[in-house]
Amino acid sequence: MPLHKNIQSFDSIHSVTVRAVILFSLIVHIICPILADEPLSFEKDIRPIFRAHCFDCHGATDELEGGLDLRLVRFIAKGGDSGPAIEIDDPNASLLIDRIASGEMPPGDSRVSEQELATLRTWIEQGAKTLREEPETIESGLGITPEERDFWAYKPVESLSDQELREKVSDEITTNLLDKQFILETVEQILERKDQVPSEQASNQYLREELIRSGLDQLIAKEASRDTLIRRAYADLIGMPPSYQEMEGWRNMQDADWYSRMLDELLASPHYGERWGRHWLDVAGYSDSEGYTNNDTIRPWAWKYRDWVIHALNRDQPFDQFITEQLAGDELMGPLEGDLTTEQIELLTATGFLRMAADGTGSGANTPEARNQVIADTLKIVGTSLLGLSIQCAQCHDHRYDPIPQQDYYAIRAIFEPAMNWQKWKAPNERRQSLYTQANREAAAMVEQEAQVIAKQKQEELDRYMADALTKELERQPEDQRAALQAAYQTPAGERNPEQVDLLKRYPSVNITPGNLYQYIPESKTKLEEFDKRINEVRSKKPEEQFVRALTESSEAPPETKLFHRGDYQQPKQTVLPHALQITCPEDNLTTFEAVNEKIPSTGRRLGFAKWITSPEHPLFSRVIANRIWLHHFGLGIVTTPADFGKLGSRPSHPKLLDWVANEFRRNNWSLKNLHRTIMQSRLYRQIRGVPVDPALVNEATDLSAAAKVLLRDYRYSFSELIRLDAEAVRDSILKVSGTLDDSIGGKPINIKEDETGSVVVDGPSGRRSLYIQSRRTKPVSILQTFDAPVMETNCEIRVNSTVATQSLLMLNGEFVLNQAAALANRVADEAKPIPAENLQSTPNVPEPKKSHWSYGFGQFDQTTNRIKNFQPLNHWTGNQWQAGQALPDADNGWVLLNRNGGHPDSPARSVIRRWRSPVSGTAKIEGTLSHGSPNGDGVRGRIVSDRHGLLGSWEIKEGGTATPVKQVMVEAGDSIDFVTESMESNTSDSFNWIVTIKINEGASSQLTAKSDRDFSGPEDSVDLIPGQIQRAWEIVYQRSPSHEELNQSMQFIGDQIRIANASSTFDSETSTVRQCVTNLCQMLLSSNEFLYVE
């Protein structure tokens, strides 16, 4: 069956591995060796099995278990203590097969699979062939074989020159070199698969020419719509959608170069550094806490490294320099003389990269294990982020799959050990670099002197309290024991004689300590704390001491790096000098790093390493970085395992394209922004995604042979059709559209807190972007974690993408989303423009919302008539309260205001009045509490007044609360009941709360309940504004107008919701009915796939 069918049925699976395999199977197509005609060989087929399962004990080290060495077939044939390991004549009688099949070997949990065992059997049956004649003797260790060297990732980066590309793919098809490279390689791959289809005897040459000449432009799908391109570019480069205005600007721009102008503008945005900084912080393992121990102590200065990354990317620092400074900024900064220069601070900050690993050594675990763990994690971060290799697997033994001897692991470790010496370890606080200047230090010393004076006073006070407590406690004890007890107590604990020890045991309450002093003299606690408070106040006058979390070397001689047997620091073996991974160097030319560089105070090892990996000869670094950039643009890397280019990783779908991109990156002075332009300008990036070549188009192409048509129909470049916004982008995009985004750049992290249920939320209403939220390893922020933000164990090589109901619950019911939807609805209401009526014909009818029975005003209670006079409505709504004018006090009417729970009166002539008009007739019962909180002023008076019956009750209250019941009053439909609050003599501090419930016909079938707080709302929006608001909501959230159908459907939705609200007696909403319905609409737009996914 055609392969692409498989892909479709697996789209829902977001496993990196599976994707890797799919892609790999589609493109690379290596025939399984067992089934090939070619006989199995030791080098290609058997050695990898031994490497995975056997060499640890049988070849990797000089100590051979059972005397058996599996490194050469000659050795295997000779066998170990038990005799020959293979029997060519009778494979099943071979000890090798026998031991493995019986499960005896390998020891432990790991098992040789059936497949592998079958391969071993077949190989023996075929005569245990080797590819080459084996040498007489070999050096210790496994070495690296030619087959291992032949692996794609270790070969030099190569690519066709521009000239060659132009010659091979004509400019008629595309002018873009990236596209040319892609087309060329794709054609080559298609031709390789040619044998699978009836080829109509077409020669390779013919088919190639045919594809390139005629049908090839359709290999790449059509260009996506301009809207899609704009949204795609915004999401990719700044992680937030465009505003509607921005969208309109680009959408309507007539210039041919609008697209590149847009890219330039986005690349120049300071938000670019935030977006791409976040990608880098994932691989660097950025966290604001130390992890490792349960304390998970805060790292107060990690954010300086985060900001450094953002700024370095924003100024498009060449990527080789970007990496070099992170690996060796301290080695570049020159001698330290006096205060640090700005440049030196930057360079030190960059080395924070090497301080990102979880580190428990400053929070309770300063042990050799913990220290070595920091080093191991740092090497893992370096290996996975820069080399794309799991070098950490070679910590305890030679790598099981990749040609990385254990020796190499320690050679890399030797590069970092001068700065991370586990035997002379510095805990995080000891190694941070202070940014204090000499002047700062002097100022601080002065302040400290002042603090010490108070500290002395505190000690004297404490001594007095202790003496008092003792005196009083002794008085409670038998008189004859007091002297002895006092003597025992005052003798230092270590010097007491046995009688004294015993005595104190018998009278345990005499054991007064500063810690339990408060149990004896309760007020001592607050008194002593006051001293602490004063000391802190004084100390707070010191100039703030800032730090950077840097990596530096001590000036001492570097430590000798030892290879640890089985990775155990307690079993150090031979000394290892720093050098590059052997597999990344030519066989006869190992790159080494000087153990000590005399020109700089540090060893220079890391600087040497940085120079080596960024050099053109290095096979991995440029590919690894190019692949990461590709991954973030397309949602899928050319190598889908970005941190593993080794044998267990996936193979590149387009190896030559990867090399071309890697070369292009370097040739353009490692400019990341240029690389973005190169990729984003390509047709490959700009096309409609995930769409296979249109079969109709292929069929119509009459000049294509049938064979070519079959090939084309099966082809699809496997990148994601849609990419879900990542966690930060979900939150940031919501903030942006709701209008509550605070888009300032950098600075200290935003605090988090646990709410009452233990879920971690932003502390306060911060609209800062998500990468500024404090990231603690043990306290992941719920909304981010729910959308798959990583919880940093070590680092995050690639994010997962889940689709689970908890995300939906959060979108439906979560406080953040509800608040944001309300903010968005308010924004929509502010910005909406009416839609002309002629455009609204045939739209569904929206009913008027039920009028509120409540109104809000002010006036006076007339004692002579017992009624209200001069009721005037409050006309200004602030969003949460009614008042007389825009500002308080209002020029004419002073302080009058009413809110959900209460309000504030002005003079008695301007008492505030909450009026309820009864929709029905019946018996009313009123309950409520009038309260006044302030100790100042003279309190307020509340009255309940019926327009039919006059005064129903009156209460005065100052600093307290009183119930305001009216047991029974008859009302007719249309009657009003007023809740009047007036000032006494003065109107200062007259804020009051007065929540009332009115129950009509309680217990009867026609009962009705009104609640002043529940029913409180602002002015009702006119339903005439709804179409304009729907239009505006669409524009803000989706940056487009709703279709006619969408507008109709939204009108229907809002109409239905108003009908429900009208039918309900308890539409408990924060706001007016229409606003609430628009809020709901906004919330659904924010929850929708069109918002959460980018094409």
Least spacing, CB of residue 382 vs other proteins, in Å: 16
Spatial separation of the C-alpha atoms in residues 640 and 651, rounded to whole Å: 8
Which ranges of 126-269 does DSSP label H, i.e. alpha helix? 146-149, 162-168, 177-192, 204-210, 226-238, 244-252, 258-268
Spatial separation of the C-alpha atoms in residues 967 and 946, rounded to whole Å: 14
Closer of 200 and 568 to other proteins (Cβ): 568
Closer of 284 and 1037 to other proteins (Cβ): 1037
Closer of 92 and 778 to other proteins (Cβ): 778
Among 467, 722, 887, 973, the residue binding other proteins under the rule CB under 8 A is: 722
Among 791, 888, 951, 984, the residue binding other proteins under the rule CB under 8 A is: 791
Spatial separation of the C-alpha atoms in residues 813 and 1087, rounded to whole Å: 11
- Residue 368 sits at the vertex; the CA angle it makes with 362 and 370, to the nearest 5 degrees, is 50
Among 29, 464, 525, 851, the residue binding other proteins under the rule CB under 8 A is: 29
Closer of 720 and 881 to other proteins (Cβ): 720
Closer of 242 and 635 to other proteins (Cβ): 635
Least spacing, CB of residue 899 vs other proteins, in Å: 18
439 burial level (CB within 10 Å; 0-12, 13-18, 19+)? exposed
Please check whether residue 190 is in contact with residue 212, taking contact to mean a CB–CB distance below 8 angstroms.
no
Please check whether residue 517 is in contact with residue 469, taking contact to mean a CB–CB distance below 8 angstroms.
yes
Residues 1002-1061 that bind other proteins (CB under 8 A): 1046, 1049-1050, 1053, 1056-1057, 1060-1061
Q: How many CB atoms lie within 10 A of CB 988?
A: 11
Sign of the four-CA dihedral 766, 770, 771, 776? positive
The end-to-end CA distance of the chain, in Å, is 28
Tokens describing residue 880? 């949460």
Spatial separation of the C-alpha atoms in residues 622 and 453, rounded to whole Å: 60
Q: How many residues bind other proteins (CB under 8 A)?
A: 107
Q: How many CB atoms lie within 10 A of CB 875?
A: 13
Spatial separation of the C-alpha atoms in residues 101 and 633, rounded to whole Å: 47
Spatial separation of the C-alpha atoms in residues 46 and 119, rounded to whole Å: 8
Closer of 441 and 900 to other proteins (Cβ): 900
Closer of 9 and 252 to other proteins (Cβ): 9
Burial 733-745 (b: 16+ CB within 10 A, else e): bbbbbbbbbebee
Closer of 668 and 1087 to other proteins (Cβ): 1087
Tokens describing residue 306? 């985060």
Tokens describing residue 121? 């059997």
Closer of 582 and 1071 to other proteins (Cβ): 1071
Residues 793-852 that bind other proteins (CB under 8 A): 793-794, 800, 803-805, 807-810, 812-815, 818
Residues 745-764 that bind other proteins (CB under 8 A): 754, 756-759
Least spacing, CB of residue 6 vs other proteins, in Å: 7
Least spacing, CB of residue 1080 vs other proteins, in Å: 5
Please check whether residue 117 is in contact with residue 102, taking contact to mean a CB–CB distance below 8 angstroms.
no
Binding mask 422-461 for other proteins (x = CB under 8 A): ----------------------------------------
- 714 in contact with other proteins (CB under 8 A): no
Least spacing, CB of residue 36 vs other proteins, in Å: 9
Among 2, 34, 459, 669, the residue binding other proteins under the rule CB under 8 A is: 34
Q: Which residues contact 107 (CB under 8 A, 6 or more apart)?
A: none
Least spacing, CB of residue 136 vs other proteins, in Å: 29
Tokens describing residue 765? 């209403």
The stretch among 823-831, 870-878, 922-930, 1084-1092 that binds other proteins (CB under 8 A) is 1084-1092
Closer of 126 and 803 to other proteins (Cβ): 803
Residues 100-159 that bind other proteins (CB under 8 A): 111, 113, 115-116, 119
Among 132, 213, 424, 505, the residue binding other proteins under the rule CB under 8 A is: 505
Identity (one letter) of the amino acid at 202?
Answer: A
DSSP 683-695: HHHHBPTTPPPPH
Residues 636-655 that bind other proteins (CB under 8 A): 647-648, 651
Spatial separation of the C-alpha atoms in residues 720 and 634, rounded to whole Å: 7
- 511 in contact with other proteins (CB under 8 A): yes
Specify the length of the chain in residues: 1095
Spatial separation of the C-alpha atoms in residues 901 and 884, rounded to whole Å: 18
The owner of tokens 């890797």 is 20
Which ranges of 598-646 does DSSP label H, i.e. alpha helix? 605-613, 621-634
Least spacing, CB of residue 962 vs other proteins, in Å: 26
The stretch among 29-37, 201-209, 739-747, 950-958 that binds other proteins (CB under 8 A) is 29-37
Q: Which residues contact 448 (CB under 8 A, 6 or more apart)?
A: 539, 542
Spatial separation of the C-alpha atoms in residues 283 and 792, rounded to whole Å: 10
Least spacing, CB of residue 33 vs other proteins, in Å: 5
The stretch among 11-19, 162-170, 265-273, 314-322 that binds other proteins (CB under 8 A) is 11-19
Closer of 975 and 1095 to other proteins (Cβ): 1095
Residues 154-183 that bind other proteins (CB under 8 A): none
The stretch among 242-250, 478-486, 718-726, 876-884 that binds other proteins (CB under 8 A) is 718-726
Residues 47-76 that bind other proteins (CB under 8 A): 48, 52
Spatial separation of the C-alpha atoms in residues 96 and 44, rounded to whole Å: 18
Please check whether residue 680 is in contact with residue 672, taking contact to mean a CB–CB distance below 8 angstroms.
no
Closer of 219 and 789 to other proteins (Cβ): 789
At 273, give phi and psi (nearest 5°): -65, -30
Tokens describing residue 832? 């909406």
Closer of 396 and 600 to other proteins (Cβ): 396
Residues 534-593 that bind other proteins (CB under 8 A): none
Least spacing, CB of residue 34 vs other proteins, in Å: 6
Tokens describing residue 328? 């060796």
Least spacing, CB of residue 296 vs other proteins, in Å: 7
- The H or E element containing residue 963 is strand 960-963
Residues 876-935 that bind other proteins (CB under 8 A): none
- 634 in contact with other proteins (CB under 8 A): no
Among 91, 239, 291, 403, the residue binding other proteins under the rule CB under 8 A is: 291
The stretch among 407-415, 738-746, 854-862, 1066-1074 that binds other proteins (CB under 8 A) is 1066-1074
Least spacing, CB of residue 32 vs other proteins, in Å: 5
Among 236, 473, 659, 1021, the residue binding other proteins under the rule CB under 8 A is: 473
Spatial separation of the C-alpha atoms in residues 64 and 306, rounded to whole Å: 49
Residues 361-380 that bind other proteins (CB under 8 A): 373
What are the helix and strand counts (H, E) for the chain?
40, 23
Task: Write out 400-439 in H/E/C secondary structure.
Answer: CCCCCCHHHHHHHHHHHCCCCCHHHCCCHHHHCEECCCHH
Binding mask 655-694 for other proteins (x = CB under 8 A): -----------------------------------x----
Residues 607-626 that bind other proteins (CB under 8 A): none
Spatial separation of the C-alpha atoms in residues 816 and 566, rounded to whole Å: 50
Among 2, 13, 143, 869, the residue binding other proteins under the rule CB under 8 A is: 13
Least spacing, CB of residue 443 vs other proteins, in Å: 39
- 31 in contact with other proteins (CB under 8 A): yes
Least spacing, CB of residue 176 vs other proteins, in Å: 26
Among 126, 516, 540, 872, the residue binding other proteins under the rule CB under 8 A is: 516
